[in-house]
Structure 1
Amino acid sequence: MMGDEGVCEPLSDGREAGEGWTNLSHRATPFSSKLGAMMRIRNKYQAMKRRRVEQGGLQASAGWASLRPTGPEIFTFDPTCAQAESGHRRKKKRKSSRVLFPSNGRKFLPVAERSLTKPLFLLLSVVLFLQVYNAFENLDDHLLRYDLEGLEKTLRREVFGQQEATAELLLHLRDYLSTYAHHKPLGVSLHGPTGVGKTHLGRILARHFRSVVGEQLVVQYFSTHHCPLAADPGECARDLRARVAGVVARAEEEEKIPLLIFDEVEFMPGQLLDALHGLLRPGQANEFLNAVYLLISSLGEAQITNHVLQNVSAGSGRSLLPDLRQALQKLHPLWAEVDMVPLTLLEKRHVMECFLDEMSQEGFYPDRPHIEQLAEELTYHSAGGLQYSHNGCKQVVAKVNLL
């Protein structure tokens, strides 16, 4: 029953409530028996509900009461409102469920497929490394056979004033002799004025190659000696082809590269130049492709002299080879098949070195003032404060022989 204040009045227990309502029913005689039974049932239900809440939710009520802020409580007509709200909040906080494997089951992990790409790549790398290594070993073997380092030392010691020309010549030889398979022969043409050391350079090369490949694989051909003016040019050309064929055939058997030196090319007749041009062309038999041809001539002397004098006086850096090649190709197409190496004019100091070397070989005491006196007797070109000999070292031997 509600009082005048509008709040629920708790009862001590069910017995007291029942007795109170019984007395009330006896006193209130106007109420019917049905209403009394309903009130008793209601009182009994309220007592059972209050005991269940007090027994089951005592601890939860105490916990929530400690966490709730200390403030004025809101009274409700139903004392179980706070308990119902706390239970509702607790139901919302559910832990995420985990998927568990059965204890007696097996776990099968994905098996990675083994790829053959990596082993094949490693194998290919090893094969490539071995091929490159063998190639370099073969290059070293070929170069060691021809002893180009020893040739370089000899040229530096015995050739004066031609450092650039000798370096270029050695570069061509090193590139060609590093392998035995070629698509065309090597043709190198030495050009320069008289007395600059062309023939001397050819003799040094012939002497060196005789020591490394043998006497039979080195040919020195002098035009005025092997094919004089009175000889038949056609016969000279046939003899030249036959001689070259014999040398390259022997070199093919021994797996070596021969050296063929042709001096005084400026005196060769046209048929002999044609034969030499045919030997230098590609597309021949294999034995003709593995050969070194060294051509020595004074052709282009005027172009070389003018270039040196103008280069010193005017400081021009224009290359000599285009002008020299253009001038010589007008004479014969042979010069389009060769690599040109020009030998420049010799300075006065180079001529003095020639005197010193020649006097030492002849057994004379190398007196410096005497050498300078002999060098002053020669004629020179003057350009840019330097003196260039007209005839190089050509007169040195004759001067020393007169001592």
Structure 2
Amino acid sequence: MKIVPRVILLLLLSTPFTATMEPLSMGIAVGVATALTGLLGNFPAFYCKFQECCEAPWVELNNTGLKMDLDDKLFGQHIAKQVVLKAVNGFMRNPNPKKPLTLSLHGWTGTGKNLLSEIIAENIYRNGMKSKYVHQFIATLHFPHLEYFSHYKEQLQKWIRGNVSLCARSIFIFDEMDKMQAGLIDAIKPYLDYYENIDGVVYRKAIFIFLSNAGGERITEIALDFWQKGNKREDIQLKDLESKVSIGIFNNKKSGFWHTSLIDKNLIDWFVPFLPLEYKHVKLCVREELKARGYGEHEEVITGVADEMTYFPEREKIYSDKGCKMVATKVEFYL
């Protein structure tokens, strides 16, 4: 970056008119060239004061903010909170991780999977989900056609390679994994493995997050079994669910993880189960929605919205069948 001003200085000193320049003028010329040298030499630091860069303070973990957001915004998911807080904190504090962090989030719609991925992004990147280092893929939008399978694999590899080359601390979010073509996700298998680098690109500092409804039925069965036995919801531990979820989606032909090498080679670090939400959690979602819109406590709205949601099993009516997915729409109606 210092070559250009040095050339300017040499030209100033070597051209014929320098002989006739007064000392003051000559001093100004040399001063300008010296200033340019300093400015361009520090250009990256100067640029990063105003534009997003792949370094602090644009990219750094706010662990306090992450914990606070998990507590304040993610309801009924004690397992997900525990796993993600420890996994993300440990990974981001490690200057030389052995492989990328890979999280696979599973559960029924409306239970908080998208919200959790947003919370992670918001507490690593100053620009949150709008950061140019956060990349989201939606299976039905980005990979809709079966006949373009080979093309999608090639494009997916190029997208990841190109973006990690720009910023090692990139996040890739794959939504609707249960609707993704089987085998497609194997295209990124090398980037999740224990390689020092691949063709000179280091992938070990990236984060990959997969979101899927697959496994939701099995998670609900286990949660319901705990309830029927009189156990507390908080007694359900990761060990009660993780292996069952991973085996279930690996053998599910309707899952984008069907017989994938990502599971077969143990490249997914954490299978994070999302429990079905109860009536009390729906009320918390309504309260948070009102708060986000600038409203105070409106107990009649909170109760009204929660009562309008539908619950299952049919007789017990314990869990919301849509989680909190319809809360925002119903709040609009009430307001």
TM-score, normalised on structure 1? 0.58
Could you tell me how far apart the structure 2 residues matched to 1:220 and 1:275 are?
16
User: Whose relative contact order is higher, 1 or 2, with alpha carbons under 8 Å and at least 6 apart?
Assistant: 2
The corresponding residue for 1:343 is 274
Give the share of equivalent positions with the same residue, in percent: 28
Structure 1 pair 288–365 and aligned structure 2 pair: CA distance change class (3 A): closer
Equivalent residues of 1:185, 1:280 under 8 A apart: yes
1:85-164 to 2 correspondences below 5 Å: 145-164=60-79
Q: Does 1:203 align with 2:118?
A: yes
Output one character per residue of 1:152-199: Cα deviation in whole Å (capped at 9) or x when no partner.
212222222223312211111122122221222211101011110111
Q: Does 1:249 align with 2:165?
A: yes
Moved more, 235-244 or 206-215: 206-215
Equivalent residues of 1:379, 1:390 under 8 A apart: yes
The corresponding residue for 2:206 is 291
Could you tell me how far apart the structure 1 residues matched to 2:184 and 2:206 are?
18
Select which of 279, 303, 308 maps to 2:218: 303
Could you tell me how far apart the structure 2 residues matched to 1:310 and 1:299 are?
19
CA shift, 1:206, in A, is 2.6
Q: Does 1:323 align with 2:244?
A: yes
CA RMSD of aligned residues (A): 2.8
Output one character per residue of 1:198-227: Cα deviation in whole Å (capped at 9) or x when no partner.
112222223333317992322112222222
State the number of aligned residues.
258
Structure 1 pair 212–149 and aligned structure 2 pair: CA distance change class (3 A): farther
Equivalent residues of 1:209, 1:218 under 8 A apart: no
Equivalent residues of 1:305, 1:345 under 8 A apart: yes
Output one character per residue of 1:326-349: Cα deviation in whole Å (capped at 9) or x when no partner.
212222232342110111111111
Q: Does 1:166 align with 2:81?
A: yes
Equivalent residues of 1:145, 1:212 under 8 A apart: no
Select which of 169, 174, 178 maps to 1:262: 174
* Counterpart secondary structure, 2:159: helix
Structure 1 pair 388–250 and aligned structure 2 pair: CA distance change class (3 A): same
Q: Does 1:379 align with 2:295?
A: no
Equivalent residues of 2:79, 2:273 under 8 A apart: no
Moved more, 356-365 or 174-183: 356-365
Could you tell me how far apart the structure 1 residues matched to 2:70 and 2:212 are?
19
1:345-360 to 2 correspondences below 5 Å: 345-360=276-291
CA shift, 1:299, in A, is 0.9
The corresponding residue for 1:181 is 96
Residue identity in the other structure for 2:73 = E
Equivalent residues of 1:192, 1:344 under 8 A apart: yes
Equivalent residues of 2:60, 2:124 under 8 A apart: no
The corresponding residue for 1:402 is 333
Could you tell me how far apart the structure 2 residues matched to 1:349 and 1:393 are?
11
Structure 1 pair 207–228 and aligned structure 2 pair: CA distance change class (3 A): farther
Q: Does 1:220 align with 2:150?
A: no
Structure 1 pair 145–200 and aligned structure 2 pair: CA distance change class (3 A): closer
TM-score, normalised on structure 2? 0.69
Structure 1 pair 379–212 and aligned structure 2 pair: CA distance change class (3 A): closer
Unaligned runs of 5+ in 1: 1-140
* Counterpart secondary structure, 2:214: coil
Residue identity in the other structure for 2:165 = A
